[in-house]
Amino acid sequence: MKILITGGAGFIASNVADRYIELGHEVVIVDNLVTGQRENIPEKATFYEMDICDPELAAVFEKEKPEVVNHHAAQLDVRKSVADPIYDANINVLGSLNILQNCAKFGTRKFIFASTGGAIYGEQDYFPADEHHPNQPLSPYGITKLATEKYLYFFNDSYGLTYTILRYANVYGPRQNPHGEAGVVAIFARRMLKGEQPMINGSGEQTRDYVFVGDVVKANELALTGGDNTIFNIGTGIETDVNELFRQVASMVPHQIEEKHGPGAAGEQMRSVLDATRIRETLGWKPEVNLAEGLKRTVAFFKERG
């Protein structure tokens, strides 16, 4: 089938694109290369350097007529969303609506949406959070992801556009951006390998659910043919605090790195962990790569890149 992937030059979506091509699908990528890397784009993919807010996106849909859209393009920085909610909403809401309107106009059959577990659930009432957990986002970023989920209900009801929503935990692995705010594993790995001192925000006792990108790719593969009109958490159900993450990464590099703490990040969640029972029972998905192995692969990737 023909699949259009937004943000396909980025960390997660480029890995998804590779897998879709391996499966024999025809892949079209739309990415403005603001955070994505041209080197991540598979040779066999058709590439359009374009912003998802661009009115010319309609011409891409008219020409390519994708059966499936896999939507990963987004403004991902939670802190930037707090500093500039209008910028965040322009990309994450209006950009998503531009894509959805073209899906409806040009007959796209299915829409796979990369959403967020931690940011939508906010400070959790119980652990791990399942898909029934109250949605109480604490950042504009989380609000825009939730808004797009609600628009998907509308487009399904009004236009028959089938969707699958994947609410990610903290995804890490090869190709993660070490320069952004969201990729603590990549930041630690790159800085430690260069002999630089990473800083832990606050006490380091804040926990996250770290899920390896290869497992996330598998969920995107299964969503091509299953999970219609359903929300799935994509996580491991295991909490790891930042201090432990720091120690594990530090044990994999040749330099002795001291554990240093800086000021806490304003508004940072203290605990986030997801229950992925629904997708396991529905599609048979489960995480295959544990944290130690995933960190080993990620550190090896950054070591190779230098």
Torsion of the alpha carbons at 234, 237, 243 and 244, rounded to the nearest 10? -110
Task: Please name the residue that has the structure tokens 């009109």.
Answer: 229
Q: Both tokens of residue 116?
A: 């967020």
Going by C-beta distance under 8 Å and a sequence separation of 6 or more, which residues neighbour residue 207? 239, 240, 241, 242, 270, 271, 272, 273
CA 250, CA 189: separation in Å to the nearest integer?
8
CA 297, CA 294: separation in Å to the nearest integer?
5
Count of CB atoms situated within 10 Å of the CB of 284: 10
For residue 240, what are the β-bridge partners? 208
**In contact, 149 and 112? CB cutoff 8 Å:** no
Q: What is the amino acid identity at position 285? A: W
CA 185, CA 52: separation in Å to the nearest integer?
28
178 CA to centre of own chain: 15
Count of CB atoms situated within 10 Å of the CB of 29: 27
Identified catalytic residue from 121, 141, 163, 172:
141
CA 90, CA 123: separation in Å to the nearest integer?
25
- Is 48 in the active site? no
Task: Please name the residue that has the structure tokens 């628009």.
Answer: 151
Torsion of the alpha carbons at 8, 10, 13 and 17, rounded to the nearest 10? 50
Q: Catalytic residue positions?
A: 141
